[in-house]
Amino acid sequence: MNCMLTTEHRGPAEHNAFSLLLAAALSATLTSGCVSIQKERSFKQSSVTTVSIENAVPCRDMIDRYTTYMVYFRLEKPVDALSVSVTAEYVADITGAKKSRKTYFIVEKIVDMSRFKNRNLKDLHAEIGRNYDADWNRGKELTLISNDTEPFKSLDADSTYRIRFTAFALENFEFTITVNADCAVTFANAP
């Protein structure tokens, strides 16, 4: 059986239909995720903090009603983008072997609401990204892009950001939080 595609024996109508079909197939392949043309970002600095579960600050805003912890950070200067990742490791047996556990996290920007008309609300924790979707499909890293047209999503140096995270388990975890950006990042346990 000859599997070669050729257009030399086709009439103009068949040739146009074949070209249209070929263009549609190519378009479907490019938009289906088979071919990725997105360039991976690189950042100038990587800031890391490690928090044991004993020293982790619990958060009353839970993720799926499960124990959730939080850490705050500030940017040295405004950035166009940054990436966040959270890992969890625990000692799995008496030999000291470590195992990792999937982590789920949400990144929020703390917005000072005192300048707006609603004086009853002091701070608003506006979600700007999470590493999982509605079906709990998770990514290891989350890249956030600054959007100056949406003030809650601009990545500026005047704001404080909060990362809420959980591993949905009770092991004696050590969490490692990494923020990659084009500036220094300062971590804190409180805003």
Residuewise pLDDT in 10s, the chain (191 residues): 444 434 344 444 444 444 444 444 444 433 333 333 345 678 999 999 999 999 999 999 999 999 999 999 999 999 999 999 999 999 888 888 899 999 999 999 998 777 766 666 677 889 999 999 999 999 999 999 999 888 788 999 999 999 999 999 989 999 999 999 999 999 998 88
Residue 121 lies in a domain: yes
Residue 145 lies in a domain: yes
Tell me how crowded residue 106 is: count the other CB atoms within 10 A of its CB. Answer: 23
Q: In terms of domains, do 59 and 23 share one?
A: no
Q: In terms of domains, do 49 and 65 share one?
A: yes
Q: Is 126 exposed, middle or buried (0-12, 13-18, 19+ CB in 10 A)?
A: middle
Q: In terms of domains, do 28 and 79 share one?
A: no
Q: In terms of domains, do 23 and 81 share one?
A: no
139-148: b or e for each residue (b if 16 or more CB lie within 10 Å)? eeebbbeeee
Angle among Cα 141, 36, 6 to the nearest 5 degrees reads 165
Residue 156 lies in a domain: yes
Q: In terms of domains, do 17 and 96 share one?
A: no
Q: In terms of domains, do 35 and 113 share one?
A: no
Under a CB-based contact definition with an 8 Å cutoff, are residues 69 and 170 in contact?
Answer: no
Residue 1 lies in a domain: no
Place of tokens 């917005």: 111
pLDDT score at 41:
78
Alpha-carbon distances of 57 from 51, 84, 109, rounded to whole Å = 9, 18, 18
Residue 124 lies in a domain: yes
* Cα-only R_g, the chain: 24
Residue 66 lies in a domain: yes
Q: In terms of domains, do 17 and 111 share one?
A: no
pLDDT score at 118:
62
Q: In terms of domains, do 108 and 166 share one?
A: yes
Residue 3 lies in a domain: no
Q: In terms of domains, do 60 and 17 share one?
A: no
The pTM of the full predicted model, rounded to 2 decimals, is: 0.75
Residue 4 lies in a domain: no
pLDDT score at 71:
97
Q: In terms of domains, do 127 and 162 share one?
A: yes
Count structural domains, the chain.
2
Q: In terms of domains, do 99 and 34 share one?
A: no
Q: In terms of domains, do 142 and 118 share one?
A: yes
CATH number of the domain enclosing 121: 2.60.120.380
pLDDT score at 122:
74
Domain ranges, residue 17: 10-39
User: Distance between CA atoms of 191 and 176, rounded to whole angstroms?
Assistant: 19
